[in-house]
Amino acid sequence: MTDEQLQALVIQISQQFFKRPFLHQARFNHRLRTTGGRYLLQSHDIEINPKQYKVHGLEELIGIIKHELCHYHLHLQNKGYRHRDQDFKKLLKKVGGSRHCKTIDGMRTEETVKYSYRCERCQQLYLRKRKIDLQKYVCGKCSGRLVATNLKNELQQL
């Protein structure tokens, strides 16, 4: 699917489900990694993760477009466009948009995990994006002491 085809699909979904025109740009953004799409507040454009379409198909893509169009139309009407707002929740339910996108293999594992820690007492494994202060934090399961481990070895064992 090209950006032009995506633009046409967004315009069609906007008319069909929201009864309002979509007057801005919709495009694929290959740099999106952990999200299905995003609505840009400044330009009012919508960006979609093309991997979602390639992996999960048209139905998932339509759910993501509906979600982003909820942000779009509510923001332009000066209503609650954030995820926590009741206006957003009601409109999303009404049009049948997806609340969360499906994950793509590799989307949240090796690409984002940089550190691993293991509890000395119960052996609970913690994978993290950011380094944590081992003097400050303890195991959430048994309150045991955490130690840094070799990330590559931990990922191979999974």
Sequence ranges of the domains in the chain: 3-95, 115-157
Q: Give me the active site residues, please.
A: 68
Name the amino acid, one letter, at 74: L
Nearest to 13 by CA among 97, 86, 91, 80: 97
Share of the chain above pLDDT 90, in %: 68
Q: Does the predicted TM-score (pTM) go above 0.95?
A: no
pLDDT at 12 over 60: yes
Which pLDDT score, from 0 to 100, does residue 112 have? 73
> Over the chain, what is the mean pLDDT?
89
pLDDT tens per residue, range 105-130: 655 455 578 889 999 999 999 988 88
CATH of the domain spanning 3-95: 3.30.2010.10
For residues 18-42, give the mean pLDDT: 93
102 within 8 A of 52, measured Cβ to Cβ: yes
For residues 23-47, give the mean pLDDT: 93
For residues 20-40, give the mean pLDDT: 92
